[in-house]
Chain A
Amino acid sequence: MIRTKRDLTKAVLLVTPSIVLVSIFVYGFILWSLRTSVSAWQGIRPDYTFVGLRNYIHLFQSTRFQIDLWNTAYFTLFFIATCIVVGFVLAFLINRNIRGEGVFRTVYLFPMALSFIVTGVVWRWMLNPTFGVNIILENLGFPSDWGWYTDPTRIGGFHVALTSLILAASWQFAGYTMAIYLAGLRSIPYEVIESARMDGATEIMIVRKVVLPMLRSITLSAVVVLGHISLKIFDLVMAMTGRGPRFATDFPGVFMFETTFTGNRYGEGAAISIVMLVMVALIIIPYLVHVFRQETHE
C-alpha cells in the first residue's frame, strides 16, 4: 500500500484524541481507583490519606465479601456450563438442514436484545414462589414448593437462591452461545466432514475427532465472554433479587455499589472494584495475548 510520511503522521494525529480519551478514562481512572482503594475516604468529601492495605484486609475479612466470592464462583461455573451445553446442542440441532431455521434462530436469540433489567423484572415475576413456575410444576406433578430466589438454604457454599439468577442469565445468553457455535460449525469446510465419512467414520466419531477440536477455540471465546459477564454481574441482580436473604444472591458488583454510593465508604468501594478488575483481567489479558499472537501468525 502506498503511504507517504506526511499521511502517516496525519494517521497518528487522527487517532490521538481517542488514545488520549482511553488513556484517561480507562487507565488513568483505574490508577485513580487504585489510589482511592488505599485511602481513608469515607463520606462525601474525598480524603486521600494513605492507609495502606487496610481496606483490602477489612474486605477479605468480611463475611459478606467471602460469600460474594463464593457466589461469583458458583454462578460463573453453572452459568457458563448451562450456556455452553444448551448453546452447543441448539447449534448442533439447528445445523442439520432444518426447515424454518431462521425462525428458530430468531426465537433462541431474542433475549440478547433485552436489558438485564427487563430480564430481571420478568423472571422475578415468573419465579415468584407463591404463584410462578411452581404452579406449572404442581400441575405437572413435580415438587412445587421451591422458594427460588427467596430460598435461604445453603448446600455447602452454594446458595440455592442462585439457581434463579443462573436460570435467567442462561435464558439470556444461551442463544448467544448457540450463535457463535453455529458460526463455527458453518466455518468447517464440508469436504473435511465428507472425506471423514468416506473413510468410514461414524457420526459420533466425526463429532469427536473433527468437529469438537475445531470448536475448541470457539468454546474458549465463549467461556471468556460469558465469564467476564458473570464476574461483573450487577444489573440482573439488582432487578431480580438484590442481595437476597443473608447475602444469598449478593455479588461484588452489588456490594461495591452499595458500599460506595449508599454507604459512602469510597475507600472500601474502590477496593472491591479493584478486586473485580483483577478477576476480569486474569481471564481477559491471557485471552487477548492469545488472540493477538494468532493474528500475527496468520
Chain B
Amino acid sequence: MSSATQTWKTERAVASLKRTVLYITLVAFAALFLTPLYVVISTGLKTFQEARLAAMWSLPPSVSLQAFSAAFTRLAPHLENSFKLVIPATFGSALLGSINGYVFSKWRFRGANTIFALMLFGMFIPYQSILIPLVVFLRTIGLYGTLWGLILTHIVYGIPINTLMFRNFYAKIPDELLDAGHIDGLDLLGVYRRIIVPLSAPGLVVVVIWQFTSIWNDFLFAVTITQRPGVQPITVALQNLAGSQVIEWNVQMAGALLAAMPTLVLYIILGKNFIRGMLAGSVKG
C-alpha cells in the first residue's frame, strides 16, 4: 500500500518536473524570439551618443524620442507612399481574386483545373524572371517609376494567391445555397452579388491582411520600379536610411520599428486571420 503511494508520489513529481522543464523551454524560446524586438526598442529610445556606445544591450539611461522623431521626419513621406500603394493594390487584387475564386470553385468549366494550376505557378516564380520585361513594359506604357506602375504590378502578381484563397474559402459555401438563388431567378452574377459577396467577409479579411502584409513588405518590385525618392515606399526608404554615410543606429532602429508598425498592429489585432492566410499560402487550404 505504502509503496503504491510512493510510486504515485514519484510519478506526480516527475510529471510536475516535466511541466516545469516544458515551460522553461517555451519561455527561453520566447525570450530568444523577442530579443531583436528588445534591441530595436531600447536602441530606438537612445540618443545618438548612447547608441554608439558598446552598451547596446543595456536599457536606455533615459527615454529619448529624438531617434523616433528623426526617423519619422525622414520616413513619413514614404509611409504615405506605402499606404497609397497598398490600399488600391490590395483591394484591386482581392476583387479579381474573389471573382476568380467564385468561378473556379463553383463553375468548373472544362479545363478550369488546368488553368487554375497554371495560374498558381505564378505565385511561386522568382520575380527576377519577369523583371526585365516588366520594366520594359512599364516604360512603354509610361508607368515606370510611378506608384501606379507598382500598383498594377502588385494587382497582377497578386491574382494567383488571391484566387487560391478565395477558391478554398468559397468551396465551403454549400452548392444548395447557390441553387436556391438560381431557382429564384438569379443568374451567375446575381448569385455572386446577392449570395457570395455578403458571405465573403471572413475570407476577405484573411486575403486583405495577407495582401496588405506582402505588398507592404515587398522590396524587389519597389526598388526596381520606383527610382525617384519621391515615390519610393517604406522598404526602399528604410534600406536607403541604412546605407547612409554615418550610421545612426538609433535612427535606423526607430525607422525599422516605424516600417514594421502597420503590419505588426494588423498581426496583433487580427492574428488568427493572419495565420489562416499564411497557411493558405502553402497551397492546401
Question: A and B: partners?
Answer: yes
Q: Write the B104-141 contact mask toward A (1 if CB under 8 angstroms, else 0).
A: 10110100010101111110111111111110110000
The chain B residue with its CB closest to the CB of A277 is B129
**A1 contacts across to B, CB distance below 8 A:** 106, 175, 178-179
Majority DSSP secondary structure for residues of A touching B:
helix
Interface: B275 (CB within 8 A): yes
Decide if A22 touches B159 in the complex (CB within 8 Å): yes
Interface centre among A107, A128, A130, A292 (most CB of B within 10 A): A107
Decide if A32 touches B132 in the complex (CB within 8 Å): yes
- Given A26-B130, A135-B54: A117 touches B219 (CB 8 Å cut-off): yes
Decide if A285 touches B121 in the complex (CB within 8 Å): yes
**B37 contacts across to A, CB distance below 8 A:** 110
The chain B residue with its CB closest to the CB of A35 is B133
C-alpha gap A262/B99 in the complex (Å): 40
Residues of chain A from 105 to 128 with CB closer than 8 A to chain B in the complex: 105-119, 121-126, 128
Interface size for chain B: under 10, 10 to 19, 20 to 34, or 35 or more residues? 35 or more
Interface size for chain A: under 10, 10 to 19, 20 to 34, or 35 or more residues? 35 or more
Decide if B219 touches A288 in the complex (CB within 8 Å): no
Residues of chain B from 172 to 196 with CB closer than 8 A to chain A in the complex: 175, 178-179, 182-183, 187-189
**A32 contacts across to B, CB distance below 8 A:** 130, 132-133, 136
C-alpha gap A7/B179 in the complex (Å): 13
**B157 contacts across to A, CB distance below 8 A:** 25-26
Decide if B133 touches A29 in the complex (CB within 8 Å): yes
- The one of A8, A30, A33, A135 that contacts B56, using a Cβ cutoff of 8 Å: A135
Decide if B36 touches A123 in the complex (CB within 8 Å): yes
**A183 contacts across to B, CB distance below 8 A:** 279
**B163 contacts across to A, CB distance below 8 A:** 18
Residues of chain A from 231 to 265 with CB closer than 8 A to chain B in the complex: 231-232, 234-235, 238-239, 252-253, 256-257, 260-261
Closest 9 CB pairs of A and B: A115-B217, A11-B107, A29-B130, A113-B267, A232-B126, A32-B133, A277-B129, A29-B133, A273-B128
Query: Using a CB–CB distance below 8 Å, which chain A residues touch chain B?
Result: 1-3, 6-8, 10-12, 14-15, 17-19, 21-22, 25-30, 32-33, 36, 46, 86, 90, 93-94, 96, 98, 103-119, 121-126, 128, 130-132, 135-136, 171, 175-176, 179-180, 183, 221-222, 224-225, 228, 231-232, 234-235, 238-239, 252-253, 256-257, 260-261, 266, 269-270, 272-274, 276-277, 280-281, 284-285, 287-288, 291-292, 296
